[in-house]
Amino acid sequence: MITKLGLATVWVLDQDSAKAFFTEKLGLEVRDDMTLGEGGMRWVTVGAKGQPELSLALMVPGPPTMDPGSATQMKALIAKGVLGAGAFNTDDCQAEYERLSALGVEFVHPPEKRPYGIEAVFRDDSGCWYSLTQPFDELDETVPWNDCVG
């Protein structure tokens, strides 16, 4: 039986730059930063300080996880900004939006009310997009779902 998610992959173009983005701007902590075996791949994970059971692996597309052709295609998709990589919850979306904006984080959408909470959308330094969400305790069905598109 699966009991919880422990690791998720975030595809990045540069691990050093991504590590700095996630730690210095988003405030996550480094969990691992090592080379696996002699001449092996670099393994970098980060996570929220209050959530030790879940880490994000910052992975650059390429061997040994994918062939060179697929890696080239994946890097193009990352750079184009079409990959969504998840959602970060916050107690105050507007305040966190302002804090991150002041640090130079690129927002695609400012905070807006959605049926599930207040949400802003930002990109990491590689181009992947994320939801920054202040969730409601329950759905607010007075907010139309079609307002969530765009």
Residue 104 sits in a domain whose CATH number is 3.10.180.10
Sign of the C-alpha dihedral computed for residues 125, 21, 129 and 120 taken in this order: negative
pTM of the model: 0.91
Q: Which two tokens mark 90?
A: 């916050």
One-letter amino acid at 140 equals D
One domain, residues 54 and 90: no
Strand pairing of 29-35 and 7-11? unpaired
Domain range for 84 is: 78-150
In a domain, 137, yes or no: yes
One domain, residues 94 and 52: no
The burial class, CB within 10 Å (0-12 / 13-18 / 19+), for 68 is exposed
One domain, residues 95 and 42: no
Rg (CA), the chain: 17
One domain, residues 29 and 84: no
Phi-psi map region of 86: left, alpha, beta (phi>0 left; psi -120 to 50 alpha): left
In a domain, 72, yes or no: no
Query: Could you give the CA distance from residue 57 to residue 43 in angstroms, rounded to a whole number?
Result: 7
Tens of pLDDT along 121-139? 999 999 999 999 999 999 9
Tens of pLDDT along 35-82? 988 878 899 999 999 999 999 999 999 988 899 999 999 999 999 989
One domain, residues 55 and 6: yes
One domain, residues 57 and 5: yes
Tens of pLDDT along 83-116? 887 999 999 999 999 999 999 999 999 999 999 9
Query: Could you give the CA distance from residue 27 to residue 24 in angstroms, rounded to a whole number?
Result: 6
pLDDT-derived band at 148, boundaries 50, 70, 90:
low
Query: Could you give the CA distance from residue 132 to residue 96 in angstroms, rounded to a whole number?
Result: 8
Spacing of C-alpha 132 from chain mean position: 9
- Unique residue bearing structure tokens 């052709």: 69
